[in-house]
Structure 1
């Protein structure tokens, strides 16, 4: 928690300080870059450095859900120059709706620093990689209290979604707390993969099978909530198993160590194959300062800048040259940077047709209601 508080205070100082008197002449009448990003998802030194090097001021707002981001943009004239939507569903929806400005790669010479293999993964959401650069990425899996899960499920494979999705296991874990993030698009594809089915299936029988699997464990699930609510709860020992994003679990692990209360937190990337997601740097079509936005994207894609961000938030970035600059404890953690074997088992999701999306939403609502 100390690290988070320190980062927050430094971030505030960076924003309040602005560009120093020795900044370039244009700093006297600076452009303001309006950034809208997830909370606790930047290195404050990167913000300060960009302002000092360019004379461009940054107004930085945060959100805690994709619904909030989409709501801002759907109203029009959001005033933002940079947004950070997740590849599915928000980024792909914005691409299809014409709500994003195509990137001018001539203005982003650091574009080539990105891993081509990861860019190819994103093409399912952004054909040709026209509208976004990769900011950070991760997987979806289980955050567990390793000591409690081993005690209660000593004979269950420790690297499988069986830990959660087999009702007999969920029943035994219920007394120490199970939570699932409230996101159908992040949970149901993982359940389909565990069932041995296509995680992007739109077949009614497959969607029903995923719903039935979730309903079978619903009596043992204590909470279905926003992913941001799970980090501290896992770190404090409130839950012994959560289904959520890898980086949230890794941050919870760090907070548990800082608290020193003996809570042991680990991350399980499912052996069945984990969902791979990407948070993208994108520019709204009506951005007031698109040139400054492209300059910021180019700045972020520098290896040393991306390394600092990964060190701060413990999510991997897509710039291979940044990896040697990342702290050893972070870059050598396979839960942060999956091994090549684990990465080969990952999958990405694609946008569903409206009818299938409605069917999935109805199934998710029934899971939340428990019927």
Structure 2
């Protein structure tokens, strides 16, 4: 089609307008109930960038979404053990994290993480632990061993909840059995499967969502849970005159860190960098922590956090607590994990 000078000029202006609009947008893909509305509102006010947040319930869901093609997302928040997977699959891009002004606020011990030693792909978001939350008033005693979860008493039969995905549950089983994570020994993985099948009759749901709701209403007495959600659940339970506690079993708890990354298909890379830098400012990361109930690694953030969060037992682990960080497993180990989980959920 032949364009007149006027129509050509209008077309150029239209394209310029579209580009300008694109620069004022940011699409974030994060865990459910894991993005502070107050932090988002503050970012939008300070930058003029409109933020849209979509959510997922597992790292596997995030991975599948990215592998399916162009996602339209600019910032994602995967857990540390999925970082090597996303990098090797070419699903994320490098960005100069160390050049962002607020990277100076990151605690020194987290500036060269094992999962991103050159700090080329990730900036820290939250960190925490995965263990067991339980209704102490219904259970009637302190939860002290993972054996109470995998081999529950008859009194809690049908009132045990398990995450939807296998990663952390399998690692908890390894902790209980005294085995290494990412285990490629079929005999040891058979022990994990046997343990999970022994537990299954006592399980009321395999889900990573609604754990606190089920604990508070009493449908669940013992459930796998993240420490930040356990803190929120304890507060909500107390308002209903119920007692929800977070356990540090003798076998240990699983450590994790969520990170901020930029997908390779991101359309608003500069806006993504602005958001990531914004989140590493102490007062902004404190908004995140106050909302989610999780710890962070930003120096100075604690001064802006609530007293409850600074002193919460879910966040401040006992000095003698054993915290074991998980890792992304190699292909043989992952194949065995998937096989075990498939057999458990049959």
- Give the TM-score of the pair, scaled to structure 2: 0.88
How far is 1:340 from its partner? 4.8
Aligned residue among 300, 309, 316 for 1:321: 300
How far is 1:158 from its partner? 2.7
What are the within-5 Å matches in structure 2 for residues 28-67 of structure 1?
31-67=24-60
Q: Is the 8 A contact 2:252 2:324 kept in 1?
A: yes
* Other-structure match for 2:97: 105
Distance 1:312 1:204 in 2: 42
Distance 1:199 1:71 in 2: 23
How many residue pairs align between the two structures? 328
How far is 1:118 from its partner? 4.1
Distance 1:102 1:247 in 2: 29
* CA spacing shift, 1:146–1:111, aligned 2, 3 Å: same
Distance 2:37 2:83 in 1: 25
Q: Secondary structure at the match of 2:259?
A: strand
What are the within-5 Å matches in structure 2 for residues 1-371 of structure 1?
31-88=24-81, 90-105=82-97, 107-119=99-111, 122-123=113-114, 125-150=115-140, 154=141, 158-165=143-150, 167=151, 169-174=152-157, 177-225=159-207, 227-258=208-239, 260=240, 262-342=241-321, 345-369=322-346
Q: Secondary structure at the match of 2:133?
A: strand
Q: Secondary structure at the match of 1:228?
A: coil
* CA spacing shift, 1:188–1:282, aligned 2, 3 Å: same
Distance 2:258 2:291 in 1: 16
Gaps of 5+ in 2: 1-18
Deviations, residues 302-347 of structure 1 (Å, cap 9, x unaligned):
11111111111111112132112211111101212324543xx211
* CA spacing shift, 1:105–1:321, aligned 2, 3 Å: same
Distance 1:208 1:126 in 2: 32
Cα RMSD for the two superposed structures: 2.2
Distance 1:188 1:75 in 2: 26
* CA spacing shift, 1:171–1:365, aligned 2, 3 Å: farther
- Give the TM-score of the pair, scaled to structure 1: 0.82
Q: Is the 8 A contact 1:35 1:59 kept in 2?
A: yes
How far is 1:92 from its partner? 2.6
